[in-house]
Amino acid sequence: MTSPDQQATNGVKLDDALTKFDDAVEILANARDFAKPGKVRRVFDGARKVMLQPGGCAAIEARAQAIEAAGLFNGSDWAQPQILVPSLTVHSLKSAESDTVVLEALSELRLLAVARGRYEHPLVSAEQAHHYLTQVLAINLELLFTAPSEAERETQGRLALLTRSLFAHLAETIGYEHVVDQLIDEIWRILQQRPIQVDSIKRMITQIAICQANPDIDLGNSGQGADRLVSSLFGATQASREDPGVELYLERLQTMDNGALQYEATGFARAMHDTGLVSAYHAVLLRHLLDHGDHLLSEALGLSATGRDCLLCYRQLVQALIEEGVHAATPQAVYGLALMLERGILYQPPVAPALWRQIGLTVSAWSQERIRMAYGDAVPPRARLLEGVLCMLGLPLGVGQGNNPTCQSARALSMWAYNDPDYLLQMVAWAARDDEIIMHFEGMPLSSMASLSGVASNLPLDLDPVSLIVVPHLDRIYAEMGRRCIGREGDPHRWVNPEFHGWWAGRGFRINVDVATGQLHELEDFLRHFYASYHPYYNGNQPLIHPQPAGIAVTDSAARFIGWHAITLLRVNLDPQEVMRAYFFNPNNDSGQDWGDDTKVSTSGCGERFGEASLPFEQFASRLYIFHYDPLEHGELANIPQAELDRVIGHVHRSWGANRVPATELQAHSGPG
């Protein structure tokens, strides 16, 4: 316990450090833009000294707005808090670079001030900030509950204490009891969407398991729902119950009879389909069962009659896929394989031979190096790529773009895996083997190697294996198609989307924004056409046949415009509550978002299939700005009630269209929403 004298001394030290820090921030704020980089050193040094003092993090939090206004984050990734990725804090907070650690800590304290309502940030809402900090706490639990390791003390010195001080302040403010419980809720919410990329989720579950096993950590009543998550990875069955390690588990399998093996197979299959996560032990079991008959293999994959029939018809191919793609280091391949068999896509004549080609594919040196940089050397790059292929074919709506402006490419991969799997496999072969993809735009070939830069400014690594290899090529081709449309009147997506995504993208095109001015344009006419094309009550009850590309105006929880985003409209149906909903694919790793004005995107509980997001039709229409349709199929424009259109237009005017509305139109549609 700190004595009164020590507390007084610490207070003097903190006051002195804060005085110097405030002076440094003021100097930075008054400096010209070109001179600011030379002034940040004093701010970093001052911030480090303050945060190492008791009460220092709280003092920095109180100054968060002034620190950002001074320009400390300018020119860095932290300048745009709305795009920050919680999983990347693992690296920055453990960096040996003092400035990186301090900058990350200052950013977290800034977001804490936003989350508590002390700082109204123009780019991120209080809810978003709170959600982000909960994830940061969850994924860095060891910084909250454990002392610095020898390695940390060696590489970071006193910075390791700074991060502990930071996390203690974050947890005390947000509440320890919320951290683990919110983490568990968050994991289940994400898993409901069945993403392909689950490494960060597995790291979170591992941290929960470590905390549960540590007698020095008192979680109180929290963490009650964690057992299913932890056991799915570390002990789903009797033989793996105490997490014995892969080698010992294999020895146990070799002594089991068929009854015991079936018990193991059923346990793992149940856990896998319950969570969407696959244990390394499950992969070991599946490889072992290759010599024990189709029945046990089917049990271990958790297949229905459809999947079993597909397995029996393509037994040799399935065996080769397991031998080449399923390893302890690539366990998610098991889930991808199971769901691919359940989809029955092997019955499409080109798919099986295309998968045989994938199994024997020669992966180029460039592609191999990309995969190694992202995933390491635990298995050969070809096996890692095959895992990615199986996951994408099994979970076509689980594709995410990571923290990159490549939503068009992610949407294309998802659409092909969903609708045209052999075309996806062709793209993977070209990209991984030849380092080149050739697509056609209005009859002219476009090479990904000959094209100039794409939309993304650098080559991302935070992607699934297929996206990692294919997206850089697709991104360049998509950008080149856009360049070919320069000088044409209107939005280039009119011509690019059908050529880029496939023949099934409707050649009819509507947009409700004037490209030259950014103002709303013919909004009511746009909505009438959308209802007539897609709403079952006005299009002759015609279900959507092929997934269609569309564009939405994304808003934050305060309904403020964030940016334009590519999605796929999948279907329009009545949900279990008899509400007409639009179900769509959002190429983010998390589709559950609050878009403000009571528009909250649902990912489960409203009739969604794995990977789908949904909104009531009116709310979806209010965020739509681009859609494609078949101009030869005519809906009933005249029968759409004006009152319903007015409600949608009200949503637009109160959100992303607030600053885009001509005064006369705003007055005409200012009624209740």
Span between the terminal Cα atoms of the chain, in Å: 58
Distance CA 572, CA 615 (A): 10
Q: Which two tokens stand for residue 638?
A: 């005249």
Spatial separation of the C-alpha atoms in residues 432 and 282, rounded to whole Å: 28
More confident residue, 148 or 238: 238
| pLDDT value of position 8 | 44
The pLDDT score that the predictor gives to residue 86 is: 86
Segment among 134-148, 188-202, 304-318, 333-347 with least mean pLDDT: 134-148
Contact of 217 with 179, CB cutoff 8 Å? no
Contact (CB, 8 A) for 58 and 169? yes
pLDDT digits (tens, 9 = 90+) for 22-33: 999 999 999 988
pLDDT at 671 over 50: no
> What are the φ/ψ torsions at residue 508 (nearest 5 degrees)?
-75, 145
Greater confidence (671 vs 121) lies with: 121
**Mean pLDDT, to the nearest integer, of 585-595?**
85
**Least reliable range by pLDDT among 217-231, 342-356, 512-526:** 217-231
pLDDT at site 603? 93
482 to each of 35, 177, 381, 476, how far by Cα in Å? 38, 50, 33, 10
Average pLDDT, the chain: 89
* In the chain, where the domains are located: 4-174, 235-341, 348-484, 508-668
**pLDDT tens digits, one per residue of 495-548:** 999 999 999 999 999 999 998 899 999 999 999 999 999 999 999 999 999 999
- Whole-angstrom Cα distance, residue 627 to residue 488? 19
Q: What pLDDT, in 10s, does the model give residues 132-146?
A: 998 888 778 778 766
Going by pLDDT thresholds of 50, 70 and 90, the confidence category of residue 669 is very low
pLDDT band at 221 (very low <50, low <70, confident <90, very high): low
Which residues sit opposite 629 in a β-bridge? Answer: 508
Model confidence at 609, in pLDDT bands (50, 70, 90)? very high
Q: What is the pLDDT of residue 152?
A: 66
- Please tell me the predicted confidence (pLDDT) of residue 406: 81
Query: Torsions phi, psi of 613, nearest 5?
Result: -110, 160
pTM of the model: 0.81
